[in-house]
Structure 1
Amino acid sequence: MDNTIPFNPTSCTVRTEQITVDVSILSVLNHAASPGRHKPDANIYLAAIAPDMELTIIMEEDAPHILPCFDEEDATITIKGAPLFISYNPAQVLTLAGKHYLTGAVIFYRTDSSGRIVSLTVEDIYRFQSYLEMQSVTLVADGQKLTCICID
C-alpha cells in the first residue's frame, strides 16, 4: 500500500523528482503537537533533504549524522514569513555562472522566540516543500545529473 502524499510540482519547476511526505510522518508531527496530550513530546523533529535522499523527518540528535556541521560551522538561510531556517555546509556550495547552488544535505528547522530549536509543524513541512519547489534545479554535466537548491 502506498502511504505517501505526493507533492505535485507546477509546470515551471525544473526539479524532476517528486517530493513526498510519508503519512506516518505527518501523523507523528500532528500527534506531537496535539493539545490534548497529557505529556508533551520531548523529541524535537526537524527535516532533511539531500541529492540522494527524499525530504525526511528526523530527530534533532540525528541531524549531525546527515549534516556533520549542523549547529556548529553551518550556514543558514531564513525562510520568509516564519522562524524557519535551512542549515547547510558552506563548503558544499557550487558557484556556476554567478549563481550559488547547495549541492549537499540540508536540515530544515524552526526556532522559538528565544532562538531555541523546536519541532517542526505539518505547516512547516508544506512551507519547505513550497520552497523546494521554487528553488530546486537539476544541473547536468557530462550526462550526470545533480539536483541542487539555488540560493540566489
Structure 2
Amino acid sequence: MALDDDIRALSNVGLFEGFTQEQLRLLAFGAETASLPAERKLYLEDDEADSAYVVIRGSIVLYREADKAHTPIAVVGAGAILGELALIADTKRMTSASAATDSQVLRLNRKMFRRILEEYPDLAMQLHQRIAEELQALIARIEALAPKFNG
C-alpha cells in the first residue's frame, strides 16, 4: 500500500481527527501493512499489546478465548481501530481478533505514536480531551444500563 493510501486510511479514523497531513504522514511512515486471509488470527486475548490496528479493508471479528465457540463480540470493518489503548499505555489485549474475511490492516506501534505526541504537545492535549470525552460518554452509557441489572 502506498504511503498516500495509508494517510488517507488514517485520516478516516476518528481517533486521528484533527491530525495534520504532516502528523498523519509521520504516523503512516512508521506503520506496517499486513494482509490477513479469512480466519487468520490478528492477536490473542491477554497478549501484551504494543500496537493498534486500523482496518483498511475486509472485516475483523473480536471474540473471547474462553468461549470455545468463538461467538463474536463485534465485527468491525474498514476505518475501525482496534487496541487504541495500546498506543498510550502498557496493556494486554482484552479480546482475540481474527479476519472474518480476507482483510488488510495497518499496524501502528506505540513508540512511533508517542514520538509524534512528544513532538506535537498540542496534539497530545487534544487527544487527551477526546479520550476523556469518550470515557465520559461510555460511563453515561453504562449508567443508563444500570437499572436493568439492579433487579
TM-score bucket of the superposed structures, by smaller chain? under 0.3
**TM-score normalised to structure 2 length:** 0.25
Higher helix share: 2
Higher strand share: 1
**TM-score normalised to structure 1 length:** 0.25
